Structure 1
């Protein structure tokens, strides 16, 4: 018995017959679409928190850049401040310290760098570094009043004995690299922005 759509006497197919004949959506198609949609929503619900937790926290974003007034730092003095939960040393080098740093043969250094490469042009007396030893992350001494600066007059790490010179370059001890110079810029002669 063949069914044609031209026959005016033809009765509409019953729901079960339509599925068997392949006319219209089948229950199996609906279940497949629903299952795939549910799995997709579940995957997004699981993956989003995992990816979102890799974003920086609000307190880190708030400290993405800080401005520091350096007008009160006298020549030969240094201060410690915090940026992104890490100590930062800001030192106003004396002419003698600049001369000593420039006199060191760069080829003799473990991590070769000149003072000019570690400071900004026109502000060679301002040395800004992270206050984190590159050996195991201790905070070196030398930025505070009366702290030990080591035999090269820069910084001394009390944890394992790393010694840095006045340009914060590693000179002795287990640290493999110089103290890191963060990204910074001078907003004026008395204000520096770190970050």
Structure 2
């Protein structure tokens, strides 16, 4: 028959555990500042989102604001521009996307096709396109000839993708929050 003896912990065992715990706390205290310094500073966090009053933008006009160092186009589209964007057969587009898919709902829960918000950087080589230019009266990148329609969708030229839509939401009927 086997005789099982319980081993009593000794003072040496306690010293090993205490030393290990002390070392673990010391390593954690030394490493934490190195990890914490990788967080963005307050100036970067302040630019993470902007609120913009769009109520003063007249129909048929566009403003450009800066968000995270990028130009953002805020366009108040006319009825003709909206109809032209909605009438496009998406099967003919290089980057197929409906006009409605490029919009967000307002505070009333409805889409507002009169407002088009885009990051104004050409998806070919990062140039800034010109507004109300090109065959489709949308955006034209003069560097390499990319042409976008009134919804910011690529129609001609070397750009592979549509102009990106930033994350935004309507805060009120006349204010949006980008980011």
What TM-score do the two structures reach when normalised by structure 1?
0.71
Q: Does 1:161 align with 2:145?
A: yes
CA distance in 2: counterparts of 1:172 and 1:81, whole angstroms:
26
Which residue matches 1:7? none
Q: 2:70 aligned with 1:86, yes or no?
A: yes
Deviation at 1:34, TM superposition (A): 4.9
Distance 1:35-1:77 versus aligned 2 partners, 3 A rule: same
Is the 8 Å Cα contact of residues 100 and 111 (structure 2) preserved in structure 1?
no
CA RMSD of aligned residues (A): 2.7
Residue 49 of structure 2 is matched in structure 1 by 65
Question: Who is 1:127 aligned against?
Answer: 116
Residue 41 of structure 1 corresponds to which residue in structure 2? 26
Higher strand share: 2
- Secondary structure at the aligned position of 1:166 is classed as coil
* C-alpha deviation, 1:56, in angstroms: 2.7
Q: Does structure 1 residue 139 correspond to structure 2 residue 115?
A: no
The alpha-carbon distance between structure 1 residues 133 and 49, as it changes in their structure 2 partners (threshold 3 A), is farther
- What is the CA deviation profile of residues 99-135 of structure 1, one whole-angstrom value per residue up to 9, with x for unaligned ones? 1111110111111111111123341110001112222
Q: Which runs of 5+ in 1 are unaligned?
A: 1-22, 143-147
Radius of gyration: which is bigger? 1
2:133 is matched with 149
Q: Give the ranges of 4+ consecutive aligned residues of structure 1 lying more than 6 Å apart after TM superposition.
A: none
- Match in the other structure for 1:103: 87
Structure 1 residues 72-81 or 31-40, which shifts more?
31-40
Structure 1: how far apart are the matches of 2:24 and 2:64?
52
The 1:30–1:136 alpha-carbon spacing in structure 2 relative to 1, beyond 3 Å, is farther
